[in-house]
Copies of this chain bind each other. A is one copy, B any other.
Amino acid sequence: MGDTVTSARNRWRPIAAELRTQILSGAFAPGDRLPSSVALRARYGVSGQTIQHAMNGLRSEGLVETRPGMGWFARKPPDVVRLPRRSDPVRRVPDSAWLGCGAEDDCWLQDVVTVIRYDRASARIAAELRIEPGAEILVRERTMFDDGQVVALAASYLPRALTRGTVIESAETGPGGILACLLRLGHDVIQHVERVTAGIAHGEEARRFGRPDPPLVFRVVRITSGRSAVLGVIHIVVLAERFELCYELPVAR
């Protein structure tokens, strides 16, 4: 009923389970080296492949990291950076797809590369923007770095009907970013909606993150609405291991 696959006998799973228990119980502290492949082979009486299979599982769970030539190590979880997701209409920091990440100094993003292009709305983008599929849109793509590492990919999509001939179509939109531009252009910004999913980065994304194995990511779709129209949508792909999304929900009285 519940279980999907039992097929064939299975030695790697109990081995992974035992090591997992030891790591979670603290028998191996973060940074500790685990027994080597040959040691584990001898202990469990299995082949190297079987040990490798077990370790691959633990690695994907984030419990173990590997330094080739040196061994397996209980993982010291990377410091997680809190990304406050707020709705400030104008921010002090330069334009970035951390849109809403906060007006404060904790908005520490290190680098932003911007590509601007024009396109026609796909079915998906059209639905999100509530415009006709095929309508002209402005696409602003960004890559965000932290310490030389790519940590997020983002693409903003705006109806060209709103942006044509405005500063939004230039590389530098000035302080406050796109949102401030929209406000200056007389648009009402009523609310943002953020839809968050999680998954494994696809091939092209994994490549852009510079990882051999596809990392776990958040996918955030941020839809910004005015009084009578959707003003824009941003798709953000964020390395999940590095970030925590933090939402504040004030209680209406």
Contact = CB atoms under 8 A, between A and B. Distances in A.
B251 A192 contact: yes
B193 A245 contact: no
Interface string A76-104: 00001010011111000000000010000
A161 interface: no
Contacts of A7: 68
Contacts of A128: none
Nearest to A20: B203
A190 to B, nearest CB: 6
B203 A251 contact: no
A212 B100 contact: no
A1 B244 CA distance: 25
B200 A61 contact: yes
Given A62-B200, A212-B3, A240-B199, A246 B68 contact: no
Interface in A33-75: 49, 57, 60-63, 66, 68
B20 A202 contact: yes
Interface residues of A, number: 65
A148 to B, nearest CB: 7
A85 B85 CA distance: 13
Nearest to A214: B61
Given A200-B60, A202-B20, A193 B249 contact: yes
A17 interface: yes
A194 B247 contact: yes
Interface string A191-227: 1111111111111000000111110111000000000
What are the nearest 7 A-B pairs in CB distance? A2-B210, A87-B249, A198-B198, A198-B240, A196-B245, A192-B249, A61-B200
